[in-house]
Amino acid sequence: MMPRVCAVVLTYNRRELLDECLRSIAAQSHVCDRVIVVDNASTDGTAEMLAECWRSKVDAHVLEQNIGAAGGFNLGMRLAYRTGADYIWVMDDDVMPEPDALEKLLAAASVLASRNIAPSFLTSILRSPVGHLTNVPEIDRHTNPLQYENWPDLLDHKLVPVIRAALASNLLPRSTLEQYGLPIADMFIWGEDTEFTLRVAQDRPGFIVGDSRAVHVRQLAGVLDIRTERNPARVAYHFYRIRNDVFLKRRFEGPRAVARLIRRQVKLAVQLCQAQEFARARIVLRGVLAGLSFNPSIEAADAPFTMASVRQMAEPEADLALASAEATAPAKLAPEQEQAFPNDLRPAV
C-alpha cells in the first residue's frame, strides 16, 4: 500500500513564489494525497490568488494575524496530522522541490525500513537558484562499537544521519509528531526548526537524502545580524532570535554555552551603544534577559489550536491526487519591506 502524504506549505506575502511552489508540488512523480497551505495573514493578495488558481486543489487556511513561522508550522502540521497521513512534507513557499524529490524521500524511507531504522525525519538537499548549498543540516556524530563516527554507514545509499535541519522539504513520519509533538508556536520566528529537529532527533536521527533535491529561493543570504539589518520591519524581530538562541543553548547545550552566548551578546550591546544604536542595543539585552526565563510548552499533535483565528477556504474536491498545473516563468520575490519573516537564515551566535 502506497503511503499517504500530506504536504504543508507556509506562506507570507509571497504569492508568486507560493504559486511556483505549489506547481512544483503538483508536478511530483509521487503525487501528494493532500496539500495544506497556511497563509500567515498575507496582505499581498495571496488568499485571492489561492481562491482563483488553486481552489479545489489545495486546502487553504488563512490566519487573521501573523503568528510567525513557528506558529504557522505548528498549525500546518497539526492540520496535516488530522488528515491521517502517514507522512507530512513540510516547506516554506520559497522551496521548489525537483519533480522526483518526494519520490526519493519515500524511497529512502523504504531503504531505512529494510534495515530496521526508523528516522525521525528525512530532508532534501537544498541549493540556491545559482547552485550553492544552503540550509546544510548538522551531521549526527554518534560513534559505532569501535568508537568511530558512524555517519558514513549509509553513504552507498546517499543517506547521512543528521540531528538538525530546516523545515524545507522535510518529510516527517506521523510517528514523529505522535511521539514528540509540534514545533513550539511561542518561539514565533527564528530557531523553531532548530528546536524541533533537535528535539525529535534525540533518540533517532533524521537523514539527509542525497537523491532528493530542491531549490531554496531566498531573498537574503548569510548570517542574521542586528548590526547589518537593513529592513526596518525586521529589526524588532531580532528580539525573538536572541531570546530563542539563549533558550536553545539552555535546552540543548548547558550552562557554559549559555554563558558564552551571553558574553557575546553583552559585548554586541556595548558596541551598538558606542555606535549610538541604543534602540538596537535594548533589543539585544531584552532578548538575552527574556531567553533566561523563556520556558514555552510543547503541544501534542492532536491538541486544539487556540493561538489565533483562522479561516478555511473551500476544501479540495477530494483527498486524492493534486492536479498537475502548467509551468510558469520563475517567480519574483516580493519587495524586501514585505519580507518580515525570511526563513532559516543562520543566526549570529
- Pairing of the two strands 87-92 and 59-63: unpaired
| 251 closest CA partner among 197, 189, 299, 181 | 197
Give the pLDDT mean for 176-197. 97
Residue range 59-101, pLDDT digits in tens: 999 999 999 999 999 999 999 999 999 999 999 999 999 999 9
Domain ranges of the chain: 5-220+298-338, 232-292
Residue 32 pLDDT more than 50?
yes
Strands, DSSP E only, in the chain? 5-11, 34-39, 59-63, 87-92, 95-97, 122-127, 138-139, 159-164, 170-173, 206-216, 310-312
Residue 231 pLDDT more than 90?
no
| 73 closest CA partner among 187, 161, 230 | 187
pLDDT at 315: 62
Give the pLDDT mean for 168-187. 98
Beta-carbon contacts of 56 under 8 Å, excluding residues fewer than 6 positions away, are 314, 316, 317
Residue 252: strand, helix, or coil: helix
Evaluate whether 95 touches 215 at the Cβ level (below 8 Å). Answer: yes
Strands, DSSP E only, in 54-200? 59-63, 87-92, 95-97, 122-127, 138-139, 159-164, 170-173
More confident residue, 46 or 333: 46
CATH classification of 5-220+298-338, choosing from 3.40.50.170, 3.40.228.10, 3.90.550.60, 3.40.1160.10?
A: 3.90.550.60
Residue range 319-347, pLDDT digits in tens: 434 333 333 333 333 343 333 333 333 33
Read off the DSSP letter of residue 338: G
Residue range 121-144, pLDDT digits in tens: 999 999 999 999 999 999 999 999
Give the pLDDT mean for 18-33. 98
H/E stretch holding 77 reads: helix 68-82
CA-CA distance, 208 to 212, in Å (whole number)? 8
Give the pLDDT mean for 224-234. 88
